[in-house]
Amino acid sequence: MASTTAATSAECAILNVTPWTVEQLTGNLAAASLALNEGQMARLDEVSAPAPGFSAGLASPAIRRMVFGGRDVRGWGE
């Protein structure tokens, strides 16, 4: 299993993938050349957005400022 983190904005996307095996590293490097068009990115954003529910309140601007040290962090669709 590899460890993966991601950060995105309107300008760029940063993906930090930590492979645990040579095979994972090889696959990750091959995937780095993958380019998605705007429609594909929009679809991925749509299907990966968190569903509203109990935890949605934890994403409120006030809570995010507390969690992120006073920084203004925006969520999906904001």
Tell me the mean pLDDT in the region 41-60.
80
The pTM is what?
0.38
Beta bridge partners of 18: 3
Please say if the pLDDT value at position 11 is more than 70.
Answer: no
Name the residue ranges covered by the structural domains of the chain: 3-67
CA distances to 1, 3, 7, 37, 68 from 11, in Å: 29, 24, 11, 14, 21
Q: What is the mean pLDDT of the chain?
A: 77
Does residue 31 or residue 41 have the better pLDDT? Answer: 41
Confidence (pLDDT) at 40: 94
Average pLDDT over residues 2-16: 58
pLDDT of residue 43 exceeding 70: yes
